[in-house]
Amino acid sequence: MEAVICAGGRGTRLGSIAKEIPKALVPIAGKPILQRQLEDLARSGIARVTILTGHLGELIDDFVHSRAWDLEIVLIREERPLGTGGGLAQLKGMLDEPFIFLYGDLILSMDFGALIHAHREGKRLMTLVAHPNSHPYDSDLILEDEDGLAVGLLAKNAQRAGYYGNLVNAGVYVLDPRLLEGIENGRKIDFEKEILGKYIALREARCHRTTEYIKDMGTPERLSQAERDIESGIVEGRRRSNKQRAIFLDRDGTINKYVGLLYKPEMFELLSGAAAAIRRINRSPYLCFVVSNQPVVARNLCDMATVGNIHRKMETELGKEHAFLDDIVFCPHHPDRGFPGENAEYKVQCDCRKPKPGMLLDIAKRYNVELKSSFLIGDTTGDIQTAKNAGVKSILVETGEGGRDGKYEARPDHAAPDLGHAVEWILNREGINA
């Protein structure tokens, strides 16, 4: 397994922090970012790393040769700036297996072995790492189809109409070496626009969604936040191989105002304080997932695409307040038949409709979540029964139905006025300052 790091950036947005050193050598929590990346790659079994340098590349050369590493390092200096993709042309004929490609300004902790495995399983020329973040409005967003293929890219500087999902291009890829042959020698190339865009159009780019910590340190504010996250253990804790803790959220009546059957985006309105509560979860060691019954599909009030648009509105509104959801899972089924106009395809018994624990079990498997250390927050006795069935702790909020549905006798582990108070109780209980 080999990796390539693009480390030629100037770090202009960092101001005086990167005035006299290349961006990849900016220190964070006592170590240069490049050192952290190399150590993380070695930990995943990467044997060889090629570093593409440019601005003040001699300092990277001095740094690399000043210490011993647990991997082989090759340095290639760009004589003139070739952008984020042009330097890859220099690797033609040097690589014969899929390789990891990442930017040198990323603070991360990743199981790169799992990423390589996903690439081989996906059978495409490119796999891109994607995740939600706290600033989707100024990030490159990936459009993904139901099979996990990237089908579009919303550039961070482009005008966006309507609502958008929070699935951000993380700047980490696995590339098949055959891609290198199509890169013109000596030309400055924007990787996202000219290479990623090309292979998305060819349906040769697959998404690898992860909750692992990946943050670019392009601004002083992001650098400071990443440093705090390293020191608190969040960066290392999010690594895929570590058991995760999660806070599962019901949607209607917990995150947004309860209006009965919500079947179009105009009906969706965030509850006061919901975004702030989710933002606190994002800054804590907990992951944050939505698990929601949406029988509006089975009742034929709307289709699956409309539910997706409702969720894009939710993610857009949360993103404006620097909050995000690690994933959204919903059940479109309803078991009872015989209603006028119903969609028979979804009128089935399933394992995902709450209070069955299927949605939580699925998330636990995909994201390595330890259920006994996790919580579910919801507004109905059905949510509380779901928590019992899944083996997670439960909190009943007074918003929405406030437990007045009376369908189940399950009692919560705690009751709270709203989502904000519920999250505060969890974090205080665990001694977490977020």
Give the pLDDT of residue 349. 95
Same domain, 264 and 183: no
236, part of any domain: no
Same domain, 26 and 129: yes
| pLDDT < 50 stretches in the chain | none
Give the pLDDT of residue 159. 83
Same domain, 209 and 333: no
Contact criterion met (CB below 8 Å) for 375 and 355: no
- Burial bucket for residue 205 (CB in 10 Å: 0-12, 13-18, 19+): buried
Give the pLDDT of residue 1. 86
How many independent structural domains does the chain possess?
2
Give the pLDDT of residue 354. 98
Q: Which active-site residues does the annotation give?
A: 250, 252
391, part of any domain: yes
Contact criterion met (CB below 8 Å) for 376 and 383: yes
247, part of any domain: yes
Contact criterion met (CB below 8 Å) for 16 and 220: no
Give the pLDDT of residue 11. 62
Taking the C-alpha atoms of residue 423 and residue 414, their distance in angstroms, rounded to an integer, is 11
pLDDT digits (tens, 9 = 90+) for 404-415: 999 999 999 999
Same domain, 117 and 249: no
Asked whether the bond before 335 is cis by omega within 30 degrees of 0, the reply is: no
Give the pLDDT of residue 128. 98
Give the pLDDT of residue 19. 72
Query: What CATH number corresponds to the domain at position 281?
Result: 3.40.50.1000
Give the pLDDT of residue 13. 66
- Burial bucket for residue 424 (CB in 10 Å: 0-12, 13-18, 19+): middle
Give the pLDDT of residue 37. 97
Q: pTM of the full predicted structure?
A: 0.94
Taking the C-alpha atoms of residue 295 and residue 340, their distance in angstroms, rounded to an integer, is 14
Same domain, 24 and 127: yes
Taking the C-alpha atoms of residue 128 and residue 148, their distance in angstroms, rounded to an integer, is 11
Same domain, 15 and 81: yes
pLDDT digits (tens, 9 = 90+) for 17-65: 767 888 899 999 999 999 999 999 999 999 999 999 988 899 999 999 9
Give the pLDDT of residue 9. 74
What DSSP state is assigned to residue 67?
A: S
Taking the C-alpha atoms of residue 388 and residue 410, their distance in angstroms, rounded to an integer, is 8
Full residue range of the structural domain in which residue 376 is found: 243-429
Taking the C-alpha atoms of residue 148 and residue 153, their distance in angstroms, rounded to an integer, is 14
Name the helix (H) or strand (E) containing 175.
strand 168-175
Same domain, 214 and 248: no
